[in-house]
Amino acid sequence: MPTRELPEKSEITIIGGGIIGVTLAHELAKRGEEVTVIEKRFIGSGSTFRCGTGIRQQFNDEANVQVMKRSVELWKKYSEEYGFPFSQTGYLFLLYDDEEVETFKRNIAIQNKFGVPTRLITPEEAKEIVPLLDISEVVAASWNPTDGKASPFHSTAKFALHAEEFGARLVEYTEVKDFVIENGEIKGLKTSRGTIKTGIVVNATNAWAKLVNAMAVIRTKIPIEPYKHQAVITQPIKNGSVKPMVISFRYGHAYLTQTAHGGIIGGVGYELGPTYDLNPTYEFMREVSYYFTKIIPALRELLILRTWAGHYAKTPDSNPAIGKIEELSDYYIAAGFSGHGFMMAPAVAEMMADLITKGRTDLPAWWYDPYRFERGELRGVALQMG
Amino acid sequence: MPDVPSYLRRGYITPEELFGMIPKPSEERLRAKPVAVPECPQEIPCAPCREVCPTGAINMPTPNDLPIVDYEKCVGCSLCVQICPGLAFFMVHYVGDKARITMPHELLPVPKRGDEVVLLNRMGEPVGTGRVILVIPREKSMGDTAVVTVEVPIELAWEVRAIRVPGGKRND
Amino acid sequence: MRLTEHPILDFSERRGRKVTIHFEGQPVEAYEGETIAMALHAAGIRVLSHSAEKHRPRGLFCAIGKCSSCLVKVNGVPNVRSCITLVEEGMKVEMQRGKETLPKGAKPPAWKDAPRYKADVVVIGGGPAGLMAAIHAADAGASVILIDENPMLGGQLVKQTHKFFGKREQFAGVRGVKIAEILGEEVKKRGNIEVFLETSAVGVFHEGEEKLVAAVRKNKELLEFLGKTLVVATGAMEKMIPFENNDLPGIYGAGAIQTLMNTYGVKPGDRVLIVGAGNVGLILAYQLIQAGVEVKAIVEAMPKVGGYFVHAAKVRRLGVPILTRHTILRAEGKDRVERAVIAQLDENWRPVPGTEKVFEVDTIALAVGLRPSIELLHQAGCQVKFVRELSGHVAVRDGRMETTVQGIFVAGDSAGIEEATTAMLEGKIAGIAAALKAGAASPEWLAEIEKAQRDLLEFRSGPFGRHVLEGIKKVLVGVDGYA
Amino acid sequence: MTEDPKGKIIICRCNDVTLKEIEDLIEGGITDIEEIKRLTRIGMGPCQGRTCIPLVISIIARKAGKKPGEIPVPATRVPVRPVMMGVLAGEMGDDDEE
């Protein structure tokens, strides 16, 4: 059980108890490290529990494809070991014109190169996968059956449980207020429940990363801004009605799928910010309804139960900032996931744990180098929807 | 729970409890003509009885006070029985060895003059039968409530507060 | 199971043309203008669906489209709320069995901008508070839009066959049904009130200084209402209590029973146990007797009758026992209520073993209290606070009923559970204050607000009112009633 | 100690959540209504929490020894009553009589 008791000291302290902080704590503890997570509210309460549940390898660059391939392996492994629902029900990108098809052919080639079995399928094949689809305007689809989805609630809870079994401490309802720094070295963190002595700090606060960086007086330019994205869920329908995540860039950058409980969940590209406001808007409710019913007309009679908002912690190239910040020892960041934090978490945890414990990793961490913004070396914008 | 009055525990008031709170009309007054007696022991915000009384017989400084009837001023017109939203006003009139009880009646069937009806006490127990001697139907009642006067044995004057009318078409 | 005669109400005028609908393939007689659930209930059908997770039988519960207990499939479309969907000739209704499939072959809807209506004051809710708010805002000079979910104005008044308390100028001595008619007529007389019925507000948004209310009419048309100010008078929801099998068909909220018998003239059952001796439970018992239904008993956990004594005396003298310090332990029955088991409570509110009593009833009415419907206020950003005396969470407001969001006012039960009379007075205050805030009324209308405030104080000067005033103090901001 | 040994006291009708399930969580130390909501799905069904949330607040208050006023109500989000997607999109088309 997560506690409200702050330990006196911890070798490594992770700020932020979202999926990134929790999976990282799990990985570090598993490797025998002394690690503590400090979460302002409760585990998952920031952006994790607000996410769209999707886990995909269909990216448009080599680094993200490799990281996500590893991530899916880990999602599969841990869901089996720990018993939480992760289903490889695939991602289906609907394509409406030749230009889109060409772009996706290039992406598929990158994905195939690393063994991700994405292929281009016909509209009819797409309709076999999701019989409720309107394919009248669809010319092809990009289909990877090994992509999937997981319940943010149950998966995060299981990672947290096992992290604690390995000895990690998860401290909830505790807010980090300041850093204790002496001669450029971190000595501890001041929190709403007192001070914890610590040497290594990981900023895993994603949407709030800039505030923590400011607390640590980091001067390196790491532009991460909170954007409001909204999601919707409907009344449940028969399970299996929409198995994969269905994507349509043509219709509002929409993504939608069915949760294990049966509701249709998803969102569109409509974005507001930068802002910390999380009030859902009228415009979103209308747009998401219009685009979803374009993709699956049968949804027209389905009732929307709820909309909510969460943050995409966005960087200029929609790739996260992952790595060590040299101006302060020992300060690490894993934030700015731009909407991909949940799906990437297990691989990022592995990558970060490698960097912290060994100083190197086999995963392409260089792509997420936090200094790339300062150097003006932006990556190609990561494929993003919602 | 000694602080809870027993009428609130049971949902009905006994004549003893009632006349511990308001005066009982004298035998002489009860024989003279009908007199209104409210069974309204709780301070609730309600004033139509006072507002409707043609002789100003009901004393109630604010709507949350208990209605106290000045039995000498009361002319027995039954307007308070007709209007009372709580159906808590009754009239009693002693005639020989009988008492005539005037009460509101909002159920079907509405009896006719001369009908014999079952007399019910404040707990709904049948305590005898009586004869209907006057009916003011709902349409003629100033308070949209039918008012029925039944003649009962005088010893039941302070017991009978409702009637059951036999027969009549019921909903299936 | 239809009422043919009633001492107060006349259903013959209300019922529309006879139509036939089909339930699970069997024809069911219905009247135009009634909902699917009412027609099915009149035909003796109690089980409408089986729940999604545990496949428990479910039927009607709230009868106002809120609780999701009565979902059916209509012409192949699942998740239809049978309690608020009107019957149509030839309609095919099926029981919903958990999660259903969507019909194939649907056409995508076209994008359409929603029609937008503007007014100085938008009033949400056409019960006593909302009606008075609309009437007084209009008299003060404002253009008014009044929206309500139901097919008729009046809110809960339309189900009330009893006469109201208070003073004659506040409709004392007049039946609720009649007050609804009178206020409805007053609204109709005023050219500056536009009424939208069968229209549900789904959200309040801020457009600059103005309030945008997104609403849905007849479940199929999106409408937008833009007001300079907004009065939220959305009333109350019934509370639920935990006991074994508390979801069995035949267990209804008191309001649902009133809807069945007093709005649609459908007999709710033959033998009823009522839980709760507050005013709602006591009044309900009397109304059931008026509809020719046997009330076996009223059980109440408190050591005394919570409602007005006179309401208790009315049903007591018709033979209904009131068992204070008792509670319901469980409902029993296969797929509908067949009996109820109650027991006495000890000083610590624990059932006393050996005091169980069994009542052979087909209906259990829950009258365990109301709580304010604050969903819209909460969603709109108004600060809310839990106040026991007001029966739940309510919006913080000032003496003129303005909430912490400028331009949003509250009145009636949604501001705290009280009486129709106080709801009307609060509605008057909120309506005039909203008109003033919208710049549509002249300052002399302040005198009318002050008069209504004095009337409220007078009404609340008894023990019941003083209790409410204690609660109001906890959510009142501002000096001299103004922040 | 549960008051619902048989698991037949329904708190949330929409998702069939029993008193026992909620009490078990509270006994396990989870008293934040937002957490209980996500773990049991109370308040996430078609009634949008209208029936169950006040009950859950009183259960938490009783079991965790809190005052109801100390338990924050979960956010109310649009739509405050369920709406068909087609209606929000605009025109439902073919079956519109008007």
Every domain of chain B and the residues it spans? 6-164
* Spatial separation of the C-alpha atoms in residues C400 and C397, rounded to whole Å: 8
Cis amide leading into D79 (omega within 30) = yes
**C371 reaches D (C-beta below 8 A):** yes
Residues of A with CB below 8 A from C220's CB? Answer: none
- What confidence score (pLDDT) does residue C483 get? 37
Query: How many angstroms separate the CA of residue C111 from the nearest CA in chain A?
Result: 7
Domain count, chain D: 1
Residue B170 has what pLDDT? Answer: 47
Of C8, C292, C314, the CB nearest to B87: C314
Q: pLDDT digit string (tens) for B9-55?
A: 999 999 999 999 999 999 999 999 999 999 999 999 999 999 999 99
In degrees, rounded to 5, the angle at the alpha carbon of residue C362 between the alpha carbons of residues C357 and C365 is 80
Residues near B51 by beta carbon (within 8 Å), at least 6 away in sequence? C167, C168, C172
Cα–Cα distance list, A42 to A46, B152, D7 (Å): 8, 73, 28
What are the chain A neighbours of D41 within 8 Å (beta carbons)?
261
User: Among the residues of chain D, which ranges form H helices?
Assistant: 19-27, 33-40, 52-64, 85-89
Give the separation between CA C256 and CA C70, rounded to whole angstroms: 12
Residue D97 lies in a domain: no
Task: Decide if D19 is inside a domain.
Answer: yes
With CA atoms as reference, the chain A residue closest to C203 would be: A282
Instruction: Report the pLDDT averaged over residues C241-260.
Output: 96
Task: Quote the distance between the C-alpha of residue A356 and its chain's center.
Answer: 21
Whether chain C has a CB inside 8 Å of the CB on D12: the answer is no
Domains observed in chain C: 11-97 (3.10.20.440), 113-237+371-475 (3.50.50.60), 251-368 (3.50.50.60)
Q: Contact, C216 vs D97, CB < 8 A?
A: no
State how far the Cα of A135 lies from the Cα of A96, in Å rounded to an integer: 9
Residues C399 and C480 sit within 8 Å (Cβ to Cβ): yes
Chain C CB contacts of B85 below 8 Å = 162-165, 172-173
Q: How far is D82 from chain C (nearest CA, A)?
A: 8
pLDDT band (50, 70, 90) for residue C1: confident
Domain that includes residue D68, residue range:
5-89
Chain B 26-85, residues with CB within 8 Å of chain C CB atoms:
39-48, 51-52, 62-64, 83-85
Q: Which residues contact A318 (CB under 8 A, 6 or more apart)?
A: A338, A339, A340, A381, A382, A384
pLDDT at position C52 is 86
Please give the span between the terminal C-alpha atoms of chain A, in angstroms, as a whole number: 33
Domains of chain A, residue spans:
1-88+147-224+317-385, 89-146+225-314
Task: Report residue C371: phi and psi, to 5°.
Answer: -135, 150
pTM higher than 0.80 for the full model? yes
DSSP letter, residue A80 = H
Burial category of B132 from C-beta neighbours within 10 Å (exposed 0-12, middle 13-18, buried 19 and up): buried
CA–CA distance, A61 with A107 (Å, rounded to integer): 7
Q: What phi and psi values does residue A119 have, to the nearest 5 degrees?
A: -145, 160
Average pLDDT over residues C421-438: 98
Q: Give the tens place of pLDDT for each residue, D45-70.
A: 888 999 899 999 999 999 988 899 89
Q: Give the CATH number of the domain where residue D80 resides.
A: 1.10.10.1100
* The two structure tokens encoding residue A307: 């909309």
Instruction: Give the neighbours of chain C: at least 3 Cβ pairs within 8 Å.
Output: A, B, D
**Cβ contacts (< 8 Å) between A302 and chain D: which residues?**
84-85
pLDDT of D1 reads: 53
Q: Distance, in angstroms, between A250 CA and closest chain C CA?
A: 15
| pLDDT at D97 (0 to 100) | 40
Say what the pLDDT of residue A117 is.
98
HSE at residue A312, side-chain half, CA atoms within 13 A, is: 25
> Is C99's CB within 8 Å of A236's CB?
yes
Helix (H, G, I), strand (E, B), or coil: what is residue D67? coil
| pLDDT tens readout for residues C172-227 | 999 999 999 999 999 999 999 999 999 999 999 999 999 999 999 998 899 999 99
Cis? peptide before B109, omega within 30° of 0:
yes
Nearest to C393 by CA among D58, D64, A278: D58
**Minimum CA–CA partner of B127 in chain C:** C317
What does the pLDDT read at residue C103?
A: 87
Whether D95 is covered by a domain: the verdict is no
Do C245 and D83 lie within an 8 Å CB cutoff? no
Task: Determine the average pLDDT of the residues in C311-315.
Answer: 98
- Minimal Cα distance from A131: which residue of C? C104
Give the CA dihedral C303, C309, C315, C317, nearest 10 degrees: 100
Q: Does pLDDT of C83 surpass 70?
A: yes
Judge: domain A89-146+225-314, CATH 3.30.9.10: yes
Pick C449 or D6 by higher pLDDT: C449
- Return per-residue pLDDT of chain A as tens, 386 residues: 788 899 999 999 999 999 999 999 999 999 999 999 999 999 999 999 999 999 999 999 999 999 999 999 999 999 999 999 999 999 999 999 999 999 999 999 999 999 999 999 999 999 999 999 999 999 999 999 999 999 999 999 999 999 999 999 999 999 999 999 999 999 999 999 999 999 999 999 999 999 999 999 999 999 999 999 999 999 999 999 999 999 999 999 999 999 999 999 999 999 999 999 999 999 999 999 999 999 999 999 999 999 999 999 999 999 999 999 999 999 999 999 999 999 999 999 999 999 999 999 999 999 999 999 999 999 999 988 77
Q: How far apart (Å, rounded) are the C-alpha atoms in residues C376 and C133? A: 17
Q: Indicate the residue type of A381.
A: V
Which of these, A154, A172, A155, lies nearest to A17 by C-alpha position?
A: A172
Among C310, C248, C312, C313, smallest CA distance to C282 is for C312
| pLDDT tens-digit series, residues C348-367 | 999 999 999 999 999 999 99
Which residues of C are less than 8 Å from D72 in CB distance?
none
Superfamily of domain A1-88+147-224+317-385: FAD/NAD(P)-binding domain (3.50.50.60)
Check residue B2 and give its pLDDT. 54
Enumerate the residues of chain D whose CB falls inside 8 A of the CB of residue C69.
13
**Contact between C222 and D73 using a beta-carbon 8 Å cutoff:** no
pLDDT tens sequence across C112-168: 999 999 999 999 999 999 999 999 999 999 999 999 999 899 999 999 999 999 999
Residue B1: pLDDT over 50: no
The verdict on D49 touching A (C-beta cutoff 8 Å) is no
Residues 6+ apart with CB under 8 A from C311: B86, C162, C279, C282, C283, C286
Q: Are A2 and A160 in contact (CB under 8 A)?
A: yes
Name the C residues in 184-223 with CB < 8 Å from any D CB.
200-203, 214, 216, 219-222
Contacts of D44 in chain A (CB under 8 A): 233, 305-306
Beta-bridge partners for C110:
D91
C-alpha atoms less than 13 angstroms from C-alpha of A102 in its C-beta half-sphere: 3
Question: If you search the block for the tokens 């569109």, which residue do you land on?
Answer: A268
pLDDT attached to residue C317: 98
Min Cα separation A307/chain D (Å): 6
CA distance linking residue C235 with residue C232, whole number of Å? 9
Q: Which of A209, A187, A210, A211 is nearest to A199 (CA)?
A: A187
Spatial neighbors of C245 by CB under 8 A, at least 6 apart, are: C251, C330, C331, C332, C333, D8
**pLDDT score, position D93:** 58
Query: Does D96 fall in a domain?
Result: no
Best probe of the D interface among C48, C102, C244, by most D CBs < 10 A, is C244
Q: Which pLDDT value is given to residue C479?
A: 46
Domain contains D47: yes
Percentage, residues of chain C above pLDDT 70: 99
From chain D, the residues in CB contact with C52 under 8 A are 14-16
> How far off is chain A from C65, nearest CA to CA, in Å?
13
Task: Check pLDDT > 50 for residue C53.
Answer: yes
Predicted pLDDT at B168: 55
Pairing of strands A91-95, A140-144: antiparallel
- Examine chains A and D and say if they touch (3+ CB pairs below 8 A): yes
